Protein backbone atom coordinates (compact mmCIF):
# COMPACT_ATOMS: atom_id res chain seq x y z
CA UNK A 1 0.00 0.00 0.00
CA UNK A 2 1.18 3.51 -0.81
CA UNK A 3 1.87 6.38 1.55
CA UNK A 4 -1.20 8.55 2.21
CA UNK A 5 -1.17 12.34 2.05
CA UNK A 6 -2.94 15.16 3.79
CA UNK A 7 -2.00 18.47 2.23
CA UNK A 8 -3.23 21.74 3.75
CA UNK A 9 -3.21 24.67 1.33
CA UNK A 10 -3.54 27.86 3.38
CA UNK A 11 -3.92 29.92 0.17
CA UNK A 12 -3.85 33.74 0.73
CA UNK A 13 -4.78 33.52 4.40
CA UNK A 14 -2.82 34.12 7.62
CA UNK A 15 -2.38 37.84 7.29
CA UNK A 16 0.41 38.70 9.70
CA UNK A 17 3.45 37.29 11.46
CA UNK A 18 1.40 37.27 14.63
CA UNK A 19 -1.34 35.17 12.99
CA UNK A 20 1.26 32.80 11.58
CA UNK A 21 2.80 32.28 15.01
CA UNK A 22 -0.61 31.75 16.55
CA UNK A 23 -1.50 29.15 13.93
CA UNK A 24 1.79 27.34 14.48
CA UNK A 25 1.46 27.26 18.23
CA UNK A 26 -2.07 25.79 18.08
CA UNK A 27 -1.03 23.36 15.35
CA UNK A 28 1.93 22.10 17.38
CA UNK A 29 -0.36 21.54 20.34
CA UNK A 30 -2.94 19.67 18.24
CA UNK A 31 -0.37 17.41 16.59
CA UNK A 32 1.50 16.61 19.79
CA UNK A 33 1.79 12.91 20.53
CA UNK A 34 -0.12 11.89 17.38
CA UNK A 35 1.45 8.95 15.62
CA UNK A 36 1.73 9.27 11.86
CA UNK A 37 3.40 6.41 10.10
CA UNK A 38 1.22 6.00 7.03
CA UNK A 39 0.11 9.58 6.50
CA UNK A 40 2.40 12.38 5.36
CA UNK A 41 1.02 15.76 6.38
CA UNK A 42 2.17 18.79 4.40
CA UNK A 43 1.31 22.41 5.25
CA UNK A 44 1.48 24.97 2.45
CA UNK A 45 1.60 28.56 3.78
CA UNK A 46 1.94 31.78 1.76
CA UNK A 47 5.51 32.42 0.50
CA UNK A 48 6.19 35.15 3.04
CA UNK A 49 5.77 32.82 6.00
CA UNK A 50 7.56 29.76 4.62
CA UNK A 51 10.64 30.33 6.72
CA UNK A 52 8.61 30.83 9.88
CA UNK A 53 6.66 27.65 9.24
CA UNK A 54 9.84 25.75 8.44
CA UNK A 55 11.25 26.66 11.85
CA UNK A 56 8.13 25.92 13.88
CA UNK A 57 6.13 23.16 12.19
CA UNK A 58 5.88 19.92 14.17
CA UNK A 59 8.75 17.62 13.20
CA UNK A 60 6.52 15.08 11.48
CA UNK A 61 4.93 17.70 9.21
CA UNK A 62 6.49 18.72 5.87
CA UNK A 63 6.57 22.11 4.22
CA UNK A 64 5.06 22.99 0.84
CA UNK A 65 4.87 26.12 -1.35
CA UNK A 66 1.90 27.35 -3.37
CA UNK A 67 3.68 28.01 -6.68
CA UNK A 68 7.08 28.40 -8.35
CA UNK A 69 8.67 29.82 -11.50
CA UNK A 70 10.35 27.54 -14.03
CA UNK A 71 13.64 29.43 -14.37
CA UNK A 72 16.42 29.12 -11.84
CA UNK A 73 17.34 32.83 -11.69
CA UNK A 74 17.30 36.08 -13.64
CA UNK A 75 15.08 39.00 -14.64
CA UNK A 76 11.69 37.62 -13.65
CA UNK A 77 10.13 40.26 -11.43
CA UNK A 78 7.89 38.88 -8.74
CA UNK A 79 8.76 35.24 -9.33
CA UNK A 80 10.18 32.63 -6.95
CA UNK A 81 12.93 30.20 -8.02
CA UNK A 82 12.86 26.47 -7.20
CA UNK A 83 16.29 26.96 -5.64
CA UNK A 84 14.98 29.59 -3.22
CA UNK A 85 12.29 27.16 -2.07
CA UNK A 86 14.74 24.33 -1.70
CA UNK A 87 17.12 26.49 0.27
CA UNK A 88 14.59 27.16 3.01
CA UNK A 89 13.48 23.56 3.40
CA UNK A 90 10.44 23.29 1.10
CA UNK A 91 9.86 19.72 -0.10
CA UNK A 92 6.53 19.94 -1.97
CA UNK A 93 5.22 22.57 -4.40
CA UNK A 94 1.67 22.99 -5.68
CA UNK A 95 1.50 23.76 -9.40
CA UNK A 96 -1.45 24.37 -11.69
CA UNK A 97 -3.90 25.13 -8.92
CA UNK A 98 -7.22 26.14 -10.48
CA UNK A 99 -6.95 29.56 -8.83
CA UNK A 100 -3.61 30.11 -10.61
CA UNK A 101 -5.14 28.90 -13.86
CA UNK A 102 -8.12 31.24 -13.36
CA UNK A 103 -6.55 34.42 -11.96
CA UNK A 104 -3.01 34.00 -13.27
CA UNK A 105 -4.17 32.65 -16.66
CA UNK A 106 -1.61 29.87 -16.48
CA UNK A 107 -1.55 27.47 -19.40
CA UNK A 108 -0.88 23.73 -19.41
CA UNK A 109 2.42 24.44 -21.18
CA UNK A 110 3.61 26.83 -18.46
CA UNK A 111 2.53 24.41 -15.76
CA UNK A 112 4.46 21.59 -17.46
CA UNK A 113 7.58 23.79 -17.40
CA UNK A 114 7.13 24.35 -13.67
CA UNK A 115 6.77 20.61 -13.06
CA UNK A 116 9.94 19.94 -14.99
CA UNK A 117 11.88 22.62 -13.13
CA UNK A 118 10.78 21.20 -9.78
CA UNK A 119 11.81 17.67 -10.73
CA UNK A 120 15.15 18.93 -11.93
CA UNK A 121 15.83 20.47 -8.53
CA UNK A 122 14.52 17.50 -6.63
CA UNK A 123 11.34 19.09 -5.29
CA UNK A 124 8.04 17.20 -5.38
CA UNK A 125 5.31 18.73 -7.57
CA UNK A 126 1.68 18.50 -6.49
CA UNK A 127 0.02 18.93 -9.87
CA UNK A 128 -3.59 20.13 -9.59
CA UNK A 129 -6.03 19.25 -12.35
CA UNK A 130 -9.80 19.37 -12.66
CA UNK A 131 -12.72 20.26 -14.89
CA UNK A 132 -15.17 23.16 -14.59
CA UNK A 133 -18.91 22.55 -14.09
CA UNK A 134 -19.51 23.52 -17.70
CA UNK A 135 -16.89 21.09 -19.00
CA UNK A 136 -18.42 18.34 -16.89
CA UNK A 137 -21.90 19.11 -18.29
CA UNK A 138 -20.52 18.93 -21.82
CA UNK A 139 -18.98 15.52 -21.08
CA UNK A 140 -15.43 16.85 -21.48
CA UNK A 141 -14.00 15.77 -18.10
CA UNK A 142 -11.78 13.08 -19.58
CA UNK A 143 -10.29 15.24 -22.37
CA UNK A 144 -9.72 18.17 -19.98
CA UNK A 145 -7.87 15.99 -17.46
CA UNK A 146 -5.79 14.41 -20.19
CA UNK A 147 -4.78 17.77 -21.63
CA UNK A 148 -3.82 19.02 -18.14
CA UNK A 149 -1.70 15.94 -17.46
CA UNK A 150 -0.11 15.22 -20.80
CA UNK A 151 2.50 17.96 -21.09
CA UNK A 152 3.63 17.47 -17.51
CA UNK A 153 4.46 13.80 -18.03
CA UNK A 154 5.94 13.93 -21.49
CA UNK A 155 9.70 13.53 -21.69
CA UNK A 156 10.31 12.87 -17.99
CA UNK A 157 12.07 9.77 -16.66
CA UNK A 158 10.26 7.09 -14.64
CA UNK A 159 12.30 8.07 -11.62
CA UNK A 160 11.06 11.63 -11.94
CA UNK A 161 7.49 10.64 -12.75
CA UNK A 162 7.20 8.72 -9.50
CA UNK A 163 7.95 11.89 -7.55
CA UNK A 164 4.76 13.51 -8.85
CA UNK A 165 1.62 13.82 -6.77
CA UNK A 166 -1.62 14.45 -8.64
CA UNK A 167 -4.49 16.29 -7.00
CA UNK A 168 -7.84 15.90 -8.71
CA UNK A 169 -9.74 19.08 -7.79
CA UNK A 170 -12.91 19.61 -9.81
CA UNK A 171 -13.20 23.41 -10.02
CA UNK A 172 -16.87 23.41 -9.13
CA UNK A 173 -16.14 21.59 -5.88
CA UNK A 174 -13.55 24.10 -4.65
CA UNK A 175 -14.91 26.46 -2.01
CA UNK A 176 -18.49 25.41 -2.81
CA UNK A 177 -19.37 22.77 -0.22
CA UNK A 178 -20.39 20.52 -3.08
CA UNK A 179 -18.55 17.22 -3.37
CA UNK A 180 -18.70 14.67 -6.17
CA UNK A 181 -19.99 11.14 -5.64
CA UNK A 182 -17.35 8.51 -4.81
CA UNK A 183 -17.92 6.85 -8.20
CA UNK A 184 -17.23 10.11 -10.05
CA UNK A 185 -13.97 10.62 -8.17
CA UNK A 186 -12.93 7.04 -8.81
CA UNK A 187 -13.76 7.47 -12.48
CA UNK A 188 -11.46 10.51 -12.61
CA UNK A 189 -8.76 8.49 -10.87
CA UNK A 190 -9.01 5.78 -13.54
CA UNK A 191 -8.72 8.40 -16.31
CA UNK A 192 -5.62 9.85 -14.61
CA UNK A 193 -4.09 6.41 -14.04
CA UNK A 194 -4.65 5.36 -17.67
CA UNK A 195 -3.21 8.57 -19.02
CA UNK A 196 -0.05 8.25 -16.92
CA UNK A 197 0.26 4.54 -17.74
CA UNK A 198 0.06 5.31 -21.46
CA UNK A 199 2.99 7.73 -21.21
CA UNK A 200 5.13 6.20 -18.43
CA UNK A 201 3.94 2.58 -18.19
CA UNK A 202 1.66 0.86 -15.67
CA UNK A 203 4.28 0.16 -12.94
CA UNK A 204 5.09 3.89 -12.74
CA UNK A 205 1.41 4.90 -12.80
CA UNK A 206 0.73 2.52 -9.92
CA UNK A 207 3.30 4.24 -7.72
CA UNK A 208 1.99 7.77 -8.27
CA UNK A 209 -0.23 9.15 -5.52
CA UNK A 210 -3.56 10.57 -6.66
CA UNK A 211 -5.40 12.80 -4.18
CA UNK A 212 -8.81 14.44 -4.09
CA UNK A 213 -9.38 18.13 -3.30
CA UNK A 214 -12.46 20.39 -3.14
CA UNK A 215 -14.64 21.10 -0.06
CA UNK A 216 -13.07 18.30 1.99
CA UNK A 217 -14.11 18.10 5.63
CA UNK A 218 -13.73 15.30 8.14
CA UNK A 219 -17.34 14.22 7.63
CA UNK A 220 -16.95 13.59 3.87
CA UNK A 221 -13.62 11.73 4.02
CA UNK A 222 -15.29 8.36 3.57
CA UNK A 223 -17.01 9.55 0.39
CA UNK A 224 -14.19 11.52 -1.23
CA UNK A 225 -11.17 9.53 -0.07
CA UNK A 226 -11.76 6.01 1.22
CA UNK A 227 -14.73 4.88 -0.90
CA UNK A 228 -13.22 6.66 -3.91
CA UNK A 229 -9.92 4.81 -3.35
CA UNK A 230 -7.85 7.98 -3.34
CA UNK A 231 -4.38 8.23 -1.78
CA UNK A 232 -5.25 11.22 0.37
CA UNK A 233 -6.73 14.71 0.26
CA UNK A 234 -5.83 18.33 -0.42
CA UNK A 235 -7.73 20.67 1.89
CA UNK A 236 -8.27 24.43 1.60
CA UNK A 237 -10.57 26.10 4.13
CA UNK A 238 -10.32 23.30 6.70
CA UNK A 239 -6.54 23.73 6.82
CA UNK A 240 -7.09 27.09 8.53
CA UNK A 241 -8.22 25.18 11.62
CA UNK A 242 -5.28 23.25 13.13
CA UNK A 243 -7.71 21.10 15.08
CA UNK A 244 -9.36 19.94 11.83
CA UNK A 245 -6.01 19.19 10.19
CA UNK A 246 -5.03 17.01 13.14
CA UNK A 247 -8.43 15.33 13.15
CA UNK A 248 -8.35 14.56 9.40
CA UNK A 249 -4.76 13.25 9.69
CA UNK A 250 -5.86 10.95 12.48
CA UNK A 251 -8.89 9.63 10.58
CA UNK A 252 -6.73 8.82 7.53
CA UNK A 253 -4.04 7.21 9.67
CA UNK A 254 -6.52 5.05 11.61
CA UNK A 255 -8.49 4.03 8.54
CA UNK A 256 -5.37 3.00 6.66
CA UNK A 257 -3.88 1.18 9.64
CA UNK A 258 -7.10 -0.84 10.06
CA UNK A 259 -7.22 -1.58 6.33
CA UNK A 260 -3.64 -2.80 6.34
CA UNK A 261 -4.27 -4.97 9.33
CA UNK A 262 -7.31 -6.46 7.61
CA UNK A 263 -5.29 -7.44 4.54
CA UNK A 264 -2.34 -8.58 6.67
CA UNK A 265 0.18 -5.92 5.54
P1 LIG B 1 -11.53 24.08 -0.26
O2 LIG B 1 -11.19 22.88 0.61
O3 LIG B 1 -11.63 25.33 0.49
O4 LIG B 1 -12.70 23.79 -1.14
O5 LIG B 1 -10.28 24.28 -1.22
C6 LIG B 1 -9.75 23.22 -1.91
C7 LIG B 1 -8.50 23.60 -2.58
O8 LIG B 1 -8.50 24.37 -3.52
C9 LIG B 1 -7.24 23.06 -2.06
O10 LIG B 1 -6.16 23.36 -2.88
- pLDDT for res 120: 96
Q: Which residues make Cβ contacts (< 8 Å) with residue 222, sequence separation at least 6?
A: none
Higher pLDDT, 1 or 85: 85
Annotated catalytic, 105? Answer: no
Integer Cα distance of 32 and 197 in angstroms: 39
pLDDT for residue 264 is more than 70 = no
**CB of 46 closer than 6 angstroms to any ligand 1 atom:** no
CATH of 4-264, one of 1.20.58.1030, 3.30.1360.200, 3.20.20.70, 3.40.640.10: 3.20.20.70
pLDDT tens digits, 45-90: 999 999 999 999 998 999 999 999 999 999 999 999 999 999 999 9
pLDDT for residue 1 is more than 80 = no
- pLDDT for res 2: 84
Integer Cα distance of 170 and 227 in angstroms: 17
Residues 177, 178, 182, 183, Cα dihedral to 10°: -170
Pocket-testing residue among 165, 174, 230, ligand 1, by greatest number of atoms within 8 A of Cβ: 174
pLDDT for residue 256 is more than 90 = no
Q: Which of 30, 106, 135, 169 is catalytic?
A: 169
Integer Cα distance of 113 and 115 in angstroms: 5
pLDDT tens digits, 168-213: 999 999 999 999 999 999 999 999 999 999 999 999 999 999 999 9
**CB of 241 closer than 6 angstroms to any ligand 1 atom:** no
Letter string b/e over residues 183-201, b meaning 16 or more CB atoms within 10 A of that residue's CB: ebbbebbebbbebbeebbe
pTM of the model: 0.96
- pLDDT for res 35: 80
How far away, in angstroms, is 17 Cα from ligand 1 center? 23
Question: What is the mean predicted confidence (pLDDT) over 216-228?
Answer: 97
Domain boundaries, the chain: 4-264
Q: Which helix (H) or strand (E) holds 64?
A: strand 61-65
Residues facing residue 39 across a β-bridge: 4
- What are the DSSP calls for 157-223, one per residue? -HHHHTT-EEEE--GGGTTTS----HHHHHHHHHHHHHHHHHHH-HHHHHHSEEEEESS--GGGHII
Q: Which helix (H) or strand (E) holds 92?
A: strand 92-95
Amino acid sequence: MKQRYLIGNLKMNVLSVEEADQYLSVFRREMKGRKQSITTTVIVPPFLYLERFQKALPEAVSLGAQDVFWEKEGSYTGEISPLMLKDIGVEYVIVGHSERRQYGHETNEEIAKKVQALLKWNLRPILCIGETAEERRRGETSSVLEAQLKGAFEGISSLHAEKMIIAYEPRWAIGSDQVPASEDILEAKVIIYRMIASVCGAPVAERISILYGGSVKANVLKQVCFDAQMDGVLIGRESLFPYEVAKIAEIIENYEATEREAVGR
